[in-house]
Amino acid sequence: MKLYDDRDPAPNPRRVRIFLREKGLEIPLVNVPLAEGRHKAPEFLAKNSLGQLPVLELDDGTTLSESVSICRYLEALHPEPPLFGRDPAESARIDMWIRRVEFRVMQPAGMIWVHLHPFTAAYAASQGRAQFKDFGESNWKVFAGACRWLDREIAGHEFVAGDRYSMADIVLQTTVDFGAAIGIDLPADCAKLAGWYERVRARPSAALDLSRFPVEQARKALGR
Amino acid sequence: MKLYDDRDPAPNPRRVRIFLREKGLEIPLVNVPLAEGRHKAPEFLAKNSLGQLPVLELDDGTTLSESVSICRYLEALHPEPPLFGRDPAESARIDMWIRRVEFRVMQPAGMIWVHLHPFTAAYAASQGRAQFKDFGESNWKVFAGACRWLDREIAGHEFVAGDRYSMADIVLQTTVDFGAAIGIDLPADCAKLAGWYERVRARPSAALDLSRFPVEQARKALGR
């Protein structure tokens, strides 16, 4: 088994690395530098026709993509500690929260990144793709609204899906960390969410050293 | 247990109804008419703070939302016939395909619906939300590209995730059916995908009578 992977702060590969550390698992990593476009090379497209990281290659040569699906597979092989739930109700609740974080919080942050961020403008142009700035701008409000909703939902819970750390925390943390690295910060009035963020960042599996990224430059470029 | 639900062609409630028929399960249904905005009423928001259907209410009064998470829960209680896979590798592959369909195919169709469709313009305005027409238009190309990619991927397989019908087929079929009902058709050159669509539509669980919807009017409104 090996994992095709890239460095921080790309959120999807990072989800699997955090998951592996929480599980105490080691899998050989193969670096596919996104910045060099190596994920769009023919030999990589043969592993994932979407040209995205991460990809898990099994010992029979078949491949599996989508970070959450890869982690789900690893959980089935190595159930302890459970990060996708201990019983049907808890598992469904964690799954629901993974989806809510992806569709509600990650989605508008991604739209700001793709349609508004100066760091992605050249890449969009190289793909013959426009950045729709007005649409991008509209996502600030959507993102802030989603964070405030989450702030209310997380009140009284230690973690996203309840009182146990789970895959939903990994999905949210990699989103918030990625946002922080590219200049998309949590709204200042989300105290419960900020408390949760401190709790997950304190875990040995999951620290992201934001000083490694040009955060101030990104914020300025976004006009924040 | 009861399921809060609405009528066709809303794709998310429909996923659960198809799943139930494939499983041979019956759950009492409670209609929450989306067209009347009843999913935004306080008593419903107490069940799902996002104000979305479907919602499954368990016998202990707790609720679960997100169509795929609801089906996953029901699969854990009623494993046969398996629609989320029989072993870790197949389960992960089905999960990967659910995600690919949602992020790649459903996403641009949804953006056309939300940002371009005359049927949603009044609703957007009532929520103080703009329709970003140029961005909406750009999603036609994204949607067609995703369908063509899927057409290549499905070649040689009976169903989306391989040779067994699964939740991934339900997620894709409800997407394609919803598109067809609102004037977003599969590109004419996707013969493999069209063949798959005929196969799943032929199942007793999953027929959608498109003659019930103003398809021609929708196509014209979208300029197709």
Instruction: Tell me the average confidence (pLDDT) per consecutive run of 10 residues in chain A, 224 residues long.
Output: 91 96 97 88 95 96 97 98 98 98 97 93 88 96 98 96 97 96 96 97 89 91 88
Contact B101, B175 (CB under 8 A): yes
Q: Are residues A24 and A118 in the same domain?
A: no
Residue B180 belongs to domain with CATH number: 1.20.1050.10
User: What residues does A162 pair with on adjacent strands?
Assistant: A159
Q: Are residues B107 and B167 in the same domain?
A: yes
Contact A116, A222 (CB under 8 A): yes
CA of A63: which chain B residue's CA is closest? B93
Question: Average pLDDT of B185-209?
Answer: 94
Q: Are residues A145 and A175 in the same domain?
A: yes
Confidence check: pLDDT of B207 > 80: no
Which residue blocks in chain A are alpha helix, DSSP H?
11-23, 42-45, 67-77, 88-100, 107-115, 118-126, 133-154, 167-182, 191-201, 215-221
Q: Are residues B215 and B127 in the same domain?
A: yes
- Interchain CB distance below 8 Å, A99 and B73: no
**How would residue B193 be classed by pLDDT, with cut points 50, 70 and 90?**
very high
Q: Which residues contact A219 (CB under 8 A, 6 or more apart)?
A: A183, A185
Which residue blocks in chain B are alpha helix, DSSP H?
11-23, 42-45, 67-77, 88-100, 107-115, 118-126, 133-154, 167-182, 191-201, 215-221
Find tokens 């026709």 and name the residue.
A49
pLDDT tens for each residue of A52-101: 999 999 999 999 999 999 999 999 999 999 999 999 999 999 999 999 99
pLDDT of residue B206: 82
Mutate to test the interface with B, among A74, A96, A171 (most CBs of B within 10 A): A96
Q: Are residues B102 and B212 in the same domain?
A: yes
Q: Enter the tokens of residue B205.
A: 């669980």
pLDDT of residue A131: 96
- Interchain CB distance below 8 Å, A70 and B64: no
- Interchain CB distance below 8 Å, B134 and A132: yes
pLDDT of residue A37: 84
Burial B140-171 (b: 16+ CB within 10 A, else e): bebbeebbebbbebbeeeebbbbebbbbbbbb
Q: Enter the tokens of residue A208.
A: 């992201």
CA pseudo-torsion sign B21, B27, B29, B34: negative
Q: Are residues A102 and A170 in the same domain?
A: yes
Compute the CA torsion angle B29, B30, B34, B36 (nearest 10 deg): 150
On whether residue B145 sits in a domain, the answer given is: yes
Mutate to test the interface with A, among B47, B55, B65, B66 (most CBs of A within 10 A): B66
Residues of A in contact with B77 (CB under 8 A): 88
- Work out how many domains chain B is built from and give that number: 2
Q: Which amino acid is at B43?
A: E
Q: Are residues B95 and B193 in the same domain?
A: yes
Residue A65 belongs to domain with CATH number: 3.40.30.10
On whether residue A95 sits in a domain, the answer given is: yes
Question: Average pLDDT of B183-199?
Answer: 97
Of the candidates B24, B43, B77, which is a domain's last residue? B77
User: Could you give the 3-state DSSP secondary structure of residue A189?
Assistant: coil
- Interchain CB distance below 8 Å, B69 and A115: no
Pairing label, strands B63-65, B55-57: antiparallel
Find tokens 């530098």 and name the residue.
A33
Find tokens 């994920």 and name the residue.
A39
On whether residue B82 sits in a domain, the answer given is: no
Could you give the angle at the alpha carbon of A172 between the alpha carbons of A166 and A174, nearest 5°? 105
On whether residue B173 sits in a domain, the answer given is: yes
pLDDT of residue A8: 82
CA of A135: which chain B residue's CA is closest? B132
User: What residues does A64 pair with on adjacent strands?
Assistant: A56
- Interchain CB distance below 8 Å, A138 and B130: yes
Q: Enter the tokens of residue B151.
A: 């057409």
Of the candidates A48, A77, A106, which is a domain's last residue? A77
ipTM value greater than 0.90: yes
More confident residue, A129 or B98: B98
pLDDT of residue B116: 94
Q: Are residues B109 and B215 in the same domain?
A: yes
Pairing label, strands B55-57, A55-57: unpaired
pTM of the model: 0.97
Pairing label, strands A63-65, B55-57: unpaired
**How would residue B7 be classed by pLDDT, with cut points 50, 70 and 90?**
confident
Domain hosting A24: range is 2-77
Chain B residues interacting with chain A (CB cutoff of 8 angstroms)? 49-50, 58, 62, 64-66, 68-70, 72-73, 76-77, 88-89, 91-93, 95-96, 99-100, 104, 115, 129-130, 132, 134-135, 138, 149, 152-153
- Interchain CB distance below 8 Å, B66 and A130: no
Q: Are residues A175 and A214 in the same domain?
A: yes
Q: Are residues B54 and B98 in the same domain?
A: no
Mutate to test the interface with B, among A90, A91, A100, A153 (most CBs of B within 10 A): A100
- Interchain CB distance below 8 Å, B89 and A65: no
On whether residue A175 sits in a domain, the answer given is: yes
pLDDT of residue B179: 96
Residue B210: count of CB within 10 angstroms of its CB: 13
On whether residue A13 sits in a domain, the answer given is: yes
φ, ψ dihedrals at A162, nearest 5°: 140, -140
- Rounded to an integer, what distance in angstroms lies between the CA atom of residue A217 and that of residue A56? 34
On whether residue B139 sits in a domain, the answer given is: yes
Q: Are residues A120 and A211 in the same domain?
A: yes
* Closest in A76, A89, A130 to B73, CB measured: A89
- Interchain CB distance below 8 Å, B93 and A64: yes
Q: Are residues B37 and B146 in the same domain?
A: no
Of the candidates B20, B54, B77, which is a domain's last residue? B77
On whether residue A198 sits in a domain, the answer given is: yes
